[in-house]
């Protein structure tokens, strides 16, 4: 994989630069809206629980709806979902601003609006992130993914301070108006994207089947599982500083809002610095080294914040925490995206986001309870211990740098000539492939077929088997099922360069003078009446 010479090289692409700043505008608007809602909840006389629920009301829909949002984007195209979701967001924000202006909001109504804002964010964000491939080829995409992932984290780091200044100067109503206007930039950019060209012979994947396909791909992808699990642990531990920073300012440093602003500003400055330096660091070090540095220094920053009574020293610790926050988040996020094939990338981002915000929600609650029951330093030390444990996971769950063009699509499959009456929903379909393998090559063959099995199931096959002819032991038969003829076509359309290489390896072991024999069968239940073939037929027992 080629690396980009400059960390801001992707921004030299005019179209990407416009897209990036539009996303930054929307992310800042989201953070400003969140600060305005939190402040307004206090002004409305909300209970401490209701104030805390403002954060939950935004995080919860992101956790729940990121995967459905990714599935919709992969199914209908990013452009359509982004336009609908952003329009919804803008309407909700305008109504929220109108209610705030009229003084008609209640704590329950405010929570309802923030929940709806979270729903809109969850629906549009996976598709928006996956649009990087519209600007760069896969070998140029890692740097773009990195700076794009940093976009959200910059806003999450700096946005609250900016939102606080706006709310203090002009009130929550202005914050909501700014949040509504921030969606316009995304709408203008998304409108210029070409509509998704759906293959005329392949219908959109059913919604729940698309969600299942995304989950199945992640479960059968060891690298993505490692990224998600380690990111989950990081976010549980790392949110401790963001969640407890007000208490650090008040209880440990004996300061007020100004001290909190200093700490938050230092964190944001570190985050912005890291966003533009992280690519250079990742070019010089392995991903595991980058993550180890991020985990260890973040843990150290948490310990210093728990011990220090010096404002400058605490600001330095907050600055280092901001650097590590971006360094780790960008590394996980960009590696997750570049490790996913295009057909499932929005769903992959959605699942990843579910665990990121899930970790933040669990962590915020956990460290708040610890700080309330014991004290703030104890909560910070405990989080630092979890962060150290997360660093040690790198010794076992190693994350390698994605390489080459293995995940690029490879459309080499030629559909057979069909001589029976079938439509797209006809099925089930069983595919049988017969190989001739010399006895001396059996071990190599079985090794490759183990990976082939994972690839087949990950792309949508089920009931995969490999059998050996007991009369002619050199004959091996691979069989797998799909529910419909459309699913059979969809499975082959998902073939990547890497899976094509597996097929080439198997063909080299095949000793026949021709290619392995492939047979497609439409499963029929003899007890069912014969029709025109359009009905869905049940599987036969076997």
- CB-CB contact of 448 with 476 (8 Å): no
Highest mean pLDDT: which range of 252-256, 365-369, 384-388: 384-388
**Of the candidate ranges 141-155, 338-352, 453-467, 512-526, the one whose mean pLDDT is the lowest:** 141-155
pLDDT score recorded for residue 157 = 67
Query: Could you give the 3-state DSSP secondary structure of residue 420?
Result: coil
pLDDT over 80 at 282, yes or no: no
Give the number of other CB atoms < 10 A from CB of residue 284.
10
Residue 115 buriedness (CB in 10 A; 0-12 / 13-18 / 19+): middle
pLDDT score recorded for residue 358 = 86
Compute the average pLDDT of residues 501-526: 87
pLDDT score recorded for residue 534 = 38
- Per the prediction, the chain carries an average pLDDT of 83
Q: CB-hemisphere CA count at 13 Å for 273? A: 13
pLDDT score recorded for residue 47 = 63
pLDDT digits (tens, 9 = 90+) for 409-446: 777 777 788 888 888 888 799 999 999 999 999 999 99
Radius of gyration of the chain (CA): 26
CA distance 207 to 155: 31
pLDDT score recorded for residue 479 = 95
For the chain, how far is it from start to end, CA to CA, in angstroms? 46
Q: How distant, in Å, are the alpha carbons of 322, 475, 477, 509 from that of 470?
A: 64, 9, 11, 20
Highest mean pLDDT: which range of 145-149, 402-406, 507-511: 507-511
Give the number of other CB atoms < 10 A from CB of residue 106.
12
CA distance 75 to 206: 8
**Of the candidate ranges 55-69, 232-246, 443-457, the one whose mean pLDDT is the lowest:** 55-69
Compute the average pLDDT of residues 383-406: 85
pLDDT score recorded for residue 542 = 32
**Of the candidate ranges 101-105, 206-210, 387-391, 531-535, the one whose mean pLDDT is the lowest:** 531-535
Query: For the chain, what percent of residues have pLDDT higher than 90?
Result: 27
pLDDT digits (tens, 9 = 90+) for 219-260: 999 999 999 999 999 999 998 887 788 788 888 888 876 787
pLDDT score recorded for residue 480 = 95
pLDDT score recorded for residue 199 = 52
pLDDT score recorded for residue 449 = 94
Helices (H), 192-221: 207-219
Q: Which residue has the higher pLDDT, 142 or 467?
A: 467
Compute the average pLDDT of residues 150-160: 72
What is the SS3 assignment for 382-398? HHHHHHHHHHHHHHCCC
Q: Which residue has the higher pLDDT, 140 or 486?
A: 486
pLDDT score recorded for residue 267 = 85
pLDDT band at 529, cuts 50/70/90?
low
pLDDT score recorded for residue 530 = 52
pLDDT score recorded for residue 405 = 60
pLDDT over 90 at 163, yes or no: no
CA distance 249 to 310: 10
- Of 214, 241, 247, 273, nearest to 363 (Cα)? 241
Compute the average pLDDT of residues 256-281: 78
Highest mean pLDDT: which range of 95-99, 244-248, 465-469, 484-488: 465-469
**Of the candidate ranges 35-39, 81-85, 103-107, 292-296, the one whose mean pLDDT is the lowest:** 35-39
How many residues make up the chain in this entry?
Answer: 542
């Amino acid at each position: 994989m080629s690396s980009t010479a400059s960390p801001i090289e992707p921004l030299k692409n005019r179209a990407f630069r416009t897209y990036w700043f539009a996303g930054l505008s929307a992310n800042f608007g989201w953070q400003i809206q969140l600060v305005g809602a939190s402040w307004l909840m206090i002004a409305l006389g909300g209970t401490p629980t209701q104030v805390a629920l403002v954060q939950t009301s935004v995080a919860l829909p992101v956790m729940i709806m990121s995967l459905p949002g990714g599935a919709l984007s992969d199914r209908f195209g990013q452009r359509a979902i982004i336009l609908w979701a952003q329009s919804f967001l803008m309407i909700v924000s305008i109504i929220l601003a109108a209610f705030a202006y009229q003084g008609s909001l209640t704590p329950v109504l405010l929570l309802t609006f923030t929940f709806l804002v979270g729903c809109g964010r969850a629906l549009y964000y996976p598709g928006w992130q996956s649009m990087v491939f519209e600007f760069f080829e896969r070998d140029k995409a890692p740097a773009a993914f990195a700076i794009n992932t940093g976009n959200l984290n910059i806003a999450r780091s700096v946005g609250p301070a900016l939102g606080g200044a706006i709310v203090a100067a002009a009130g929550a109503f202005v914050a909501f108006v700014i949040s509504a206007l921030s969606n316009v930039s995304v709408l203008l950019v998304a409108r210029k994207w070409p509509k998704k060209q759906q293959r005329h012979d392949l219908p959109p994947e059913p919604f729940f089947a698309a969600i299942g396909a995304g989950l199945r791909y992640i479960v059968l992808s060891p690298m993505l599982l490692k990224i998600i699990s380690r990111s989950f642990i990081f976010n549980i531990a790392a949110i401790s500083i963001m969640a407890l920073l007000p208490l650090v300012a008040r209880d440990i440093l004996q300061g007020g809002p100004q001290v909190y602003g200093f700490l938050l500003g230092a964190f944001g400055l570190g985050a912005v610095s890291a966003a533009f330096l992280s690519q250079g660091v990742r070019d010089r070090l392995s991903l595991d080294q980058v993550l180890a540095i991020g985990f260890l220094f973040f843990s150290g920053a948490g310990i210093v914040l728990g011990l220090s009574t010096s404002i400058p020293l605490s600001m330095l610790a907050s600055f280092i925490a901001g650097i590590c926050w971006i360094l780790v988040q960008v590394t996980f996020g960009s590696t997750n995206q570049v490790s996913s094939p295009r057909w499932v990338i929005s769903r992959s981002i959605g699942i990843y986001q579910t665990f990121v915000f899930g970790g933040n929600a669990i962590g915020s609650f956990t460290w708040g309870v610890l700080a309330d029951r014991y004290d703030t330093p104890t909560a910070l030390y405990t989080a630092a211990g979890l962060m150290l444990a997360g660093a040690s996971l790198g010794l076992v769950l190693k994350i390698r740098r994605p390489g080459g063009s293995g995940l690029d699509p490879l459309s080499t499959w030629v559909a057979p000539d069909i001589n029976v009456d079938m439509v797209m929903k006809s099925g089930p379909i069983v595919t049988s492939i017969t190989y001739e393998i010399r006895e001396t090559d059996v071990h190599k063959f079985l090794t490759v077929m183990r990976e082939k099995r994972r690839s087949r199931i990950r792309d949508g096959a089920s009931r995969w088997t490999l059998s050996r002819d007991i009369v002619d032991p050199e004959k091996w038969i691979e069989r797998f099922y799909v529910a419909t003829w459309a699913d059979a076509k969809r499975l082959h359309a998902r073939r990547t360069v890497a899976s094509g290489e597996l097929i080439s390896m198997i063909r080299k072991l095949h000793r026949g003078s021709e290619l392995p024999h492939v047979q497609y069968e439409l499963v029929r239940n003899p007890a069912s009446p014969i029709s025109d073939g359009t009905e869905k037929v049940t599987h036969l027992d076997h």
